[in-house]
Amino acid sequence: TMTGRVALKTGISDLTALRAQAKRVQQGPVTAYQIQLNDDARGKIIVGETTFLFQFVAPPPVQPRPQLPVSVRSGVEIDWTTTIIAAFSFLFHFGLIGSIYSDWMDPPVDDDLSVAQLIESVKQLPPPPPVEQKEEVPVLAEATATAQAKEEAPKAAAAAGGAKGPAAGKMTDARASQLSNELAQLDVAMLAALNSGGVATDRVLSNSEIPFALLDQSAASGAAAGRGKVGGLDMGGGAGGAYVPGAGGGGGLAGLGNKGAGEAAAGAGSAKAVKGPTGSASVGGASVSGGSVANAASVVAGMAAGFRRCYNRGLQEDPGMKGSVRITAKIGPNGEVLGATPSGGGGLSGTVISCVVSRVSSAQFSPPDGGGATVVIPISFQPQ
């Protein structure tokens, strides 16, 4: 069964009372009653144990569809006008720069003609100046000339002013200096007499190392020096004969002094030229490639003396220097050396290598067959 009440404009009515006012509609085997309700109608209907409450209300407003902000939606879009303008601008500018820096408009170059012009210009160049080799002036000759000049000057001064000398028995500074130089000469003469060909004399002359063992042996022996002048030192008169080391007599060094005559300045001693270290330069067989050079072997052999001079100058800086180097010389059509390139050179200084390269660059060969050649010169240096 269905019961209930409905609130209309006319008031609250029961369903049983409204059935008489309702419109009867037959739907198949079921008979239904229809009542028109307005917006203000409401009510309660009970069907069995189920209760329905109804009421007409205004529908809620339609919610708008969610959309992204304009700033976000506009970022996804592409401004095709600006993009096309920028693309054509980049294409024009980069194409213009590429055409400027390209070699499309450069004229073609004939390599054979350029090489021929280069060879002609090299032929017209003057030959390189010869390398000047400075000759070593011996120090001994210069020192001897200076000593002789100094000895002549005191003799002339002594002859002119002998009467004005100091009193007898008093030694002047000039006389003392002269005696000191003469004693030094006597020491050198004694060491040379003891061992003139050994190592001791060379050490005394070069490093001032005095071998006292040889002096002790000389003092203990019976050898003596004759009277008179020994090495330029006047030991005075006396008929006692030879002077034995340790024995008195004959005036000696204690009796030396000014005898009343004018004294001259001290003379210079003698000097000995000490020879520096020397070396040898071994030149191997010259290897010729790219053409045939008739006098390659003889020209390379003639450069050995120049290589040795370069090495000797380098030994003055480093006495223990040694090594080997290979010089590659490019020979031109007329036999001139167009260029010299060193390789290797371990143990050799840059001065020696540059000197050897300069010597090879100044060489003159026979015109090679074929217009050019390459000569490889191996050189090894060893100190003697």
Average pLDDT, the chain: 75
Inside any domain, residue 129: no
- For residue 238, pLDDT over 50 is answered with no
Considering the domain boundaries, does residue 205 fall inside one? yes
Smallest Cα–Cα separation from 379: which of 308, 276, 296? 308
Structural tokens at position 51: 């209760």
Asked whether residue 177 falls in the same domain as residue 269, the answer is yes
pLDDT band at 152 (very low <50, low <70, confident <90, very high): low
CB 280 within 8 A of CB 314: no
d(CA 98, CA 105): 12
pLDDT of 98 > 50? The answer is yes
Is residue 104 pLDDT above 60, yes or no? yes
Let me know whether 271 and 283 are in one domain: no
CATH code of the domain in which 343 resides: 3.30.1150
**DSSP string for 275-304:** P---EEEEE-PPEEESS--TTHHHHHHHTH
Q: What is the DSSP code string of 148-166?
A: HHHHHHHHHHHHHSGGG--
Do 292 and 263 lie in one domain? The reply is no
Is residue 332 helix, strand or coil? coil
Q: Supply the pLDDT for residue 143.
A: 52
Same-domain check for residues 260 and 310: no
Is residue 90 a part of any domain in this protein?
no
- Give the pairing of strands 287-289 and 233-234: unpaired
* Same domain as 264, residue 146: yes
Asked whether residue 302 carries a pLDDT value surpassing 90, the answer given is: no
Could you tell me if 29 and 148 lie in one domain?
no
DSSP 104-142: SSSPP--HHHHHHHHHHHHHTSPPPPPPP-PPPPPHHHH
Instruction: Based on the fold, state whether residues 260 and 336 are members of the same structural domain.
Output: no
Residue 95 lies in a domain: no
Place of tokens 């030094």: 184
What phi, psi does 3 have (nearest 5°)? -130, 170
Same domain as 268, residue 310: no
Considering only 26-35, 41-50, 250-259, 306-315, which range has the smallest mean pLDDT? 250-259
At residue 103, does pLDDT exceed 60?
yes
pLDDT of residue 36: 85
Residues 266 and 287 occupy one common structural domain: no
Q: How many folded domains does the chain comprise? A: 3
Digit-coded pLDDT (tens) for 268-286: 555 555 566 788 888 888 8
How far is it, in rounded angstroms, from Cα 311 to Cα 227?
50
Residue 50 belongs to some domain of the structure: yes
**Per-residue model confidence (pLDDT) at position 150:** 60
In-domain check, residue 67 = no
> Is the predicted pLDDT of residue 314 greater than 50, yes or no?
yes
Task: Answer yes or no: is 295 within a domain.
Answer: yes
Structure tokens given for 30: 């079921």
143 and 271 assigned to the same domain:
yes
Domain stop point among 55, 72, 99: 55
Domain extent at residue 43:
2-55
* More confident position, 269 or 356: 356
| 314 shares a domain with 360 | yes
Only one residue has tokens 């000593």, namely 147
Residues 175, 258: one domain? yes
